[in-house]
Amino acid sequence: MHEFSYEAPTTVDQAVKLLSADGDSARIICGGTDLLIQMRNAVRKPRLLVDVKAIPEMRQISFDPKTGLKLGAAVPCIEIHENQTMRKYYPGLTEAAHLIGSLQIQSRASIGGNLCNSSPAADTSPALLALGAVAKIAGPNGTREVPVEKFFTGPGQNVLQKGEIVVQILIAAPAPHSADRYIRMIPRNEMDIAIVGAGACVTLDGDKVTAARIGLGAVAPTPILAPKAAEYLIGKKLDEKTAERAGELAREAASPIDDMRGTAEYRRHVVGVLTRRALLGAAERARQN
Amino acid sequence: MDTPQTHQFKVIGTRPVRHDGLDKVIGRAKYGADYSFPGMLYGKVLRSPYAHARIKSINAEKALRLPGVKAVVTHDDFAPQTTAPVYRMGGEAAVNPLYLASNILAKDKVLYAGQGVAAVAATSPHIAEEALGLIEVEYEPLPIVLDVLDAMKPGAPIINTTIRRKERPDEETNIAGEFQFKRGDIEAGFKSADIIVEREFRTEMVHQGYIEPPNALGIFSGDGHATVYTSTQGPFDVRIMSATLLGLPEGSVKVVPAEIGGGFGAKLTVHIEPVALLLSKHAGGRPVKMVMTRTEMMRGATGPTSGSVLRVRMGATRDGKIVAAKCWFAYEAGAFPGSPVWLGCFTGLSPYNIDNFLVDGYDVLVNKPKTSSYRAPGATNAAFAVECVVDELAQRCGMDPLDFRIKNASREGTPSVMGPKFPRIGCVEVCEALKRSAHYQTPLAQVPGKYRGRGVAIGFWINGGMQSSAIVNVHADGTASLVTGSVDIGGSRASTAMVVAEVLGLRAEDVRPAVADTDSIGYTDGTGGSRVAFATGLAAYQAANDVVRQLKERAAKIWEISPEDVDWIDGKAVSKRNGVAPLTLKDLAPRLTRTGGPVTGRANVYATGVGPSFAGCLVDLEIDPDTAKVQVLRCTVVQDVGKAIHPSYVEGQMQGGTVQGLGWALNEEYVYDEKGNLRNASFLDYRMPTCLDLPMIDPVMVEVANPGHPLGVRGVGEVSIVPPPAAVANAVSAAVGTRITDLPISPPRLYRILAARHG
């Protein structure tokens, strides 16, 4: 590995200054579960690493039933999994965080890192898309908020400008009778990377769907929403049949490729299967809320 | 009659804690990467980005100018090599030193992506890595061939222009070797068949997947001697190969074997040991340490095993007698000749007594890494094809798959595929034990919404004998030490020490086993071919008996009688003459000083009498019809183990091989892009099964004593990997109603089959 400097600021302002000062060769490090591999493989050669784990507001989970969730971007996935509020109100996002790598990896990896690494296959991204999450970004010109569906610009690419940091992830408090679910297809049972990931969030009024969002991973250059599939469900009863149809519509949103993890035809097929299962799973939870 | 099966052993067959266990559990055991020396340098290898290219020039000037860089070497720094073979493994394996050297550091051409081109030694691994980027190599890319059938076609890009087939001396070819076994009249055999099944199968290149990447620490001494510390299965193999590549006499290289984190055959050859020595030589004798990255290891600098195309045609009579078999096997050799196809040809049909067969095998060069051994090399591919066809034949005959196998099974006296008759073997016993197993006796329950299937297969492996040495030292406190040259890769320290303990009347804990370096023990072939418990165990047995002979002399001296009048019974010296109390080793040990001095037993063996092994695998699995993902629900492995010295480690071998076979069946494969780059050179994307993917593997040991060994021992390390891919394929075939012919049966592949079936 090449030589680099390391800083661990304790405020967002300091972090922004450090990042802004060092041209394009500074990188944020949180858990390092993606970045260190990229550095070892010489894919990235940052001269400065800015560690954000010492910034208190980036390490906190705060929830208010009115204003919703402020999830620190640097909170390790394992803390999300162990957090009772997260489990109760955002079970889908929580299970996504708990699928990343192994327990050891989850102790390092963060949702902010998963978001900013911007892999099309990131497990938490479809869950965030389904929840309508918003990234709160701090930068040299102040703060801005970007919905997750507008965050990604390509494989490994996003809207972050020089000096900018995702500080928190903001998610509205769940509506009554709503819930989320995330599932993925991997050839093994653990320790794997999604061939397809599907997140769904549904709100029910009695039997009828009043709101739905579906996020998909690993089937396009970025994690994507499947809006037609979600719109189709509005006003309908969510059952095997309608979920199947929504799955078919979700397939149309996907533009998968062949790679070493799976074929495009297989991925397209599995989008339908997982969308159906995620929707039914979310509805099952929503009925209990 | 007293046989190894009826004899009441005190130590053999028990399950003591292994002698090397604590150090391994707490992390104190020293593996190759744990060694370091003052003034040590770090070596790194520059590897080819091309799968096939001419090397036009290599310029290392900039790299040598980087502060901290102490040496840069290329192929030309090796001693000049020829193609004249160098023999190892007791003369049974020939190494082509030119190919060996060229595979490690390319000469003139690179033949696969990941092949070494140059190496650097520097004061830190980071500087060495940076220096690699400063070495300027000019390549002229050449056309590549990755597919084994494409490589056999006329007009294919030629990988080695000097290779010719015997009958076509004027034509360049990628067919580097041809093998044929035949018996009887194949045409007449098929004419007498009522049912004929013929299929073509395909398997992909797979890696052994050992945890510990290859490593070496080389010290080139100024006095013409050299020392290598390395995690190897074959210290004496490393010695001869390193000496040859460096142009040193064999005896001037000392190899110190470290603990080893898995090898499965791949660590029987050198990968970077000669490079570490070469760099040390060019850096003024400073120690040079090299540890491969996982990516280097996976890209093939260490040799995976062959992908293959396998065509099998078999005929049987209606009542279930196999009357003819025709096999055509083409194995990827990788970039240099030497796939295990001949072993596939030999082993594939070996479980069966067939009067008429013809087996053809081809060793085919492709622009992929040179293949290495992998647990029962060559046998798994062949068995996959043969056992799927046998399964289908049994089905078409309306017979139970195990009854069909028992009816056709090889037995004592059946001529093997190579000709010589089998000694006492356990093929039938394995099939019968599988039939009797609780697993087979319990029908597989179907569940709604899933496809479930059961599959069975058997497999054969020849096992190895060859050379081993052992020394047993008796200590004054009544304990003993055992010194061998066999690296302990599967519990062999425990099993060989138990053999010595049994003979000497000691507890297993009282015999301390050590693995010595190549200067400190007699020649010992590598830990491979399931040979250590058998052959090194035999040497240990004989060395212990050499101690017994001497202890009887000492007892005779004490009793003032003739040594002929002393027996050694149940670990005690017993006088035949008068009624004196017997003397144990513990009684005699403190009295050695005054009865003639220390006692050391030794033995050097070339072990013949090898007992081949059979194994059977039974698999239940479930398929998600929506995602085509296979989950193994239950798995039983039955193996003829001869005599289990330490049953836990025998069972461990059976389970380990089975798991590797299940991985091979379901998800493991090398995935290449069209340019010949390996796309999944990591344990993330090269998907070996984790413990979460597997049920408990139930091991059932069958003990059919090997008449060629005083304790009845057979090699147990390899054969369990042979049947699982076929067992899984047969189970999937049963579950979905379509014959599976291609490995791995990964979800995307199986989805395609299911989708085609549904139209």
pLDDT at B575: 96
- A40 contacts in B (CB within 8 Å)? 293
pLDDT at B139: 98
H or E stretch including A158? strand A157-158
- A262 contacts in B (CB within 8 Å)? 747-748
Token pair 């309608």 is found at A242
B667: nearest CA partner in chain A = A187
H or E stretch including B74? strand B69-74
- Any idea what DSSP says for residue B271? S
CB-closest option in A190, A262, A273 to B692: A190
The CA distance from B747 to the nearest CA of chain A, in Å, is: 7
pLDDT digits (tens, 9 = 90+) for A78-129: 999 999 999 999 999 999 999 999 999 999 999 999 999 999 999 999 999 9
Mean pLDDT of the B720-733 span: 98
pLDDT digits (tens, 9 = 90+) for B297-316: 999 778 999 999 999 999 99
Alpha carbon distance B69, B545 (integer Å): 54
B754: nearest CA partner in chain A = A266
Partner-chain contact A260 B680, CB within 8 Å: yes
> What is the Cβ-side half-sphere exposure of residue B562, based on CA atoms within 13 angstroms?
3
- Judged against a pLDDT cut of 90, whether residue A249 lies above it is answered with yes
CATH 3.30.365.10 fits B21-29+464-607, yes or no: yes
Alpha carbon distance A2, A4 (integer Å): 7
Helix, strand or coil, per DSSP, at residue A11: coil
Start-to-end CA span in chain B (Å): 65
DSSP per-residue codes, A175-226:
PTTEEEEEEEE-SSSSS---SEEEEEEEEEETTEEEEEEEEEESSSSS-EE-
Alpha carbon distance B248, B226 (integer Å): 9
- Judged against a pLDDT cut of 60, whether residue A207 lies above it is answered with yes
Partner-chain contact B687 A269, CB within 8 Å: no
pLDDT at B87: 79
pLDDT bin (cut points 50, 70, 90) of residue A280 is very high
Partner-chain contact B692 A189, CB within 8 Å: yes
pLDDT at B90: 60
Residues 6+ apart with CB under 8 A from B2: none
User: pLDDT above 70 covers what percent of chain A?
Assistant: 100
- Judged against a pLDDT cut of 80, whether residue B438 lies above it is answered with yes
Q: For residues B727 and B630, is the Cβ–Cβ distance under 8 A?
A: no
Q: Which domains does chain A have, with CATH numbers?
A: 5-51 (3.30.43.10), 56-171 (3.30.465.10), 180-288 (3.30.390.50)
Alpha carbon distance A71, A101 (integer Å): 20
Q: Which two tokens stand for residue B317?
A: 């009579």
pLDDT bin (cut points 50, 70, 90) of residue B719 is very high
Indicate the burial class of B756 (C-beta count within 10 angstroms; 0-12, 13-18, 19 or more). Answer: exposed
Indicate the burial class of B549 (C-beta count within 10 angstroms; 0-12, 13-18, 19 or more). Answer: middle
Indicate the burial class of A59 (C-beta count within 10 angstroms; 0-12, 13-18, 19 or more). Answer: middle
B685: nearest CA partner in chain A = A261
A261 touches chain B (CB under 8 A): yes
pLDDT digits (tens, 9 = 90+) for B127-161: 999 999 999 999 999 999 999 999 999 999 999 99
Do the domains B21-29+464-607 and B378-463+610-758 sit in the same CATH topology, yes or no?
yes
A188 touches chain B (CB under 8 A): yes
Partner-chain contact A192 B129, CB within 8 Å: no
The per-residue b/e assignment along A12-41, b for 16 or more CB within 10 angstroms, e otherwise, is: beebbebbbebeeebbbbbbbbbbeebbee
Alpha carbon distance A116, B121 (integer Å): 37
Token pair 């969308």 is found at A275
Q: For residues B730 and B617, is the Cβ–Cβ distance under 8 A?
A: no
β-pairing, B600-607 with B466-474?
antiparallel
pLDDT digits (tens, 9 = 90+) for B19-42: 999 999 999 999 999 999 999 999
- Judged against a pLDDT cut of 60, whether residue B759 lies above it is answered with no
The per-residue b/e assignment along B452-470, b for 16 or more CB within 10 angstroms, e otherwise, is: bbbbbbbbbbbbbbbbbbb
Start-to-end CA span in chain A (Å): 50
Q: Which of A261, A268, A274 to mutate to test the interface with B (most CBs of B within 10 A)?
A: A261
pLDDT bin (cut points 50, 70, 90) of residue A2 is confident
Q: How many CB atoms lie within 10 A of CB B150?
A: 15
CB-closest option in A188, A265, A273 to B667: A188
pLDDT bin (cut points 50, 70, 90) of residue A230 is very high
Q: For residues B727 and B668, is the Cβ–Cβ distance under 8 A?
A: no
CB-closest option in A41, A195, A273 to B626: A273
Q: For residues B353 and B121, is the Cβ–Cβ distance under 8 A?
A: no
Mean pLDDT of the B534-542 span: 98
User: pLDDT above 70 covers what percent of chain B?
Assistant: 99
Token pair 């092949």 is found at B115
Q: Which two tokens stand for residue B64?
A: 């040598």
Q: For residues B78 and B278, is the Cβ–Cβ distance under 8 A?
A: yes
pLDDT at B757: 81
Indicate the burial class of B671 (C-beta count within 10 angstroms; 0-12, 13-18, 19 or more). Answer: middle
Q: Which two tokens stand for residue A172?
A: 């509205």
A244 touches chain B (CB under 8 A): no
B748: nearest CA partner in chain A = A266
Q: Which two tokens stand for residue B617?
A: 């695998």
Mean pLDDT of the B655-664 span: 98
Q: For residues A181 and A278, is the Cβ–Cβ distance under 8 A?
A: yes
Q: For residues B621 and B633, is the Cβ–Cβ distance under 8 A?
A: yes
- A100 contacts in B (CB within 8 Å)? none
Q: How many CB atoms lie within 10 A of CB B85?
A: 11
A193 touches chain B (CB under 8 A): yes
Partner-chain contact A190 B684, CB within 8 Å: no
Phi, then psi, of A195 in degrees rounded to 5: -80, -40
pLDDT at B91: 61
CB-closest option in B685, B690, B755 to A190: B690
Q: How many CB atoms lie within 10 A of CB B30?
A: 12
Alpha carbon distance A124, A107 (integer Å): 15
Q: For residues A151 and A188, is the Cβ–Cβ distance under 8 A?
A: no
**Closest by Cα among B232, B234, B275, B226 to B254:** B226
Strand stretches in B516-660, DSSP E: 566-569, 572-575, 583-584, 600-607, 613-623, 630-640
Alpha carbon distance B408, B402 (integer Å): 10
Mean pLDDT of the A120-140 span: 98
Alpha carbon distance A270, A195 (integer Å): 9
Q: Where are the domains of chain B?
A: 21-29+464-607, 378-463+610-758
Partner-chain contact B629 A187, CB within 8 Å: yes
A189 touches chain B (CB under 8 A): yes
Mean pLDDT of the B193-197 span: 98
**Closest by Cα among B206, B194, B150 to B175:** B150
Alpha carbon distance A111, A125 (integer Å): 8
User: pLDDT above 90 covers what percent of chain B?
Assistant: 95
pLDDT digits (tens, 9 = 90+) for B260-295: 999 999 999 999 999 999 999 999 999 999 999 999
Helix, strand or coil, per DSSP, at residue B412: coil
What are the start-end ranges of the H helices in B505-646? 537-559, 585-588
**Closest by Cα among B529, B206, B211 to B376:** B529
Mean pLDDT of the A124-138 span: 98
Alpha carbon distance B714, B457 (integer Å): 21
A240 touches chain B (CB under 8 A): no
Helix, strand or coil, per DSSP, at residue B53: strand
> What is the Cβ-side half-sphere exposure of residue B116, based on CA atoms within 13 angstroms?
31
**Closest by Cα among B405, B445, B391 to B725:** B391
Q: Which of B687, B691, B728, B753 to mutate to test the interface with A (most CBs of A within 10 A)?
A: B687
- Any idea what DSSP says for residue A43? S
H or E stretch including B93? strand B93-95
β-pairing, B226-230 with B322-334?
unpaired
- Judged against a pLDDT cut of 90, whether residue A42 lies above it is answered with no
Mean pLDDT of the A3-12 span: 96
Quick one: CA torsion of A112, A117, A119, A123, rounded to 10 degrees?
Answer: -20
- Judged against a pLDDT cut of 70, whether residue B625 lies above it is answered with yes
Residues 6+ apart with CB under 8 A from B390: B314, B322, B352, B401, B404, B405, B457
Q: For chain B, what is the mean pLDDT?
A: 96
Q: Which of A192, A260, A261, A274 to mutate to test the interface with B (most CBs of B within 10 A)?
A: A260
- Judged against a pLDDT cut of 70, whether residue B1 lies above it is answered with no
Residues 6+ apart with CB under 8 A from B559: B566, B575, B577, B578, B580
Q: Which of B124, B450, B629 to mutate to test the interface with A (most CBs of A within 10 A)?
A: B629
pLDDT digits (tens, 9 = 90+) for B344-382: 999 999 999 999 999 999 999 999 999 999 999 999 999
Q: How many CB atoms lie within 10 A of CB A104?
A: 10
B126: nearest CA partner in chain A = A1
Which residues are paired to A68 by β-bridges?
Answer: A64
The CA distance from B128 to the nearest CA of chain A, in Å, is: 10
pLDDT bin (cut points 50, 70, 90) of residue B89 is low
Mean pLDDT of the B672-680 span: 96
Mean pLDDT of the B732-759 span: 94
Q: According to CATH, what is the number of the domain B378-463+610-758? A: 3.30.365.10
Alpha carbon distance B221, B224 (integer Å): 6
Partner-chain contact B748 A263, CB within 8 Å: yes
Phi, then psi, of B311 in degrees rounded to 5: -110, 125
pLDDT digits (tens, 9 = 90+) for A143-192: 999 999 999 999 999 999 999 999 999 999 999 999 999 999 999 998 89
Q: Which of B207, B291, B627 to mutate to test the interface with A (most CBs of A within 10 A)?
A: B627
Q: For residues A209 and A282, is the Cβ–Cβ distance under 8 A?
A: no
Q: In angstroms, what is the C-alpha Rg of chain A?
A: 19
Return the axis-axis angle of helices B235-246 and B97-104, rounded to nearest 10°.
90
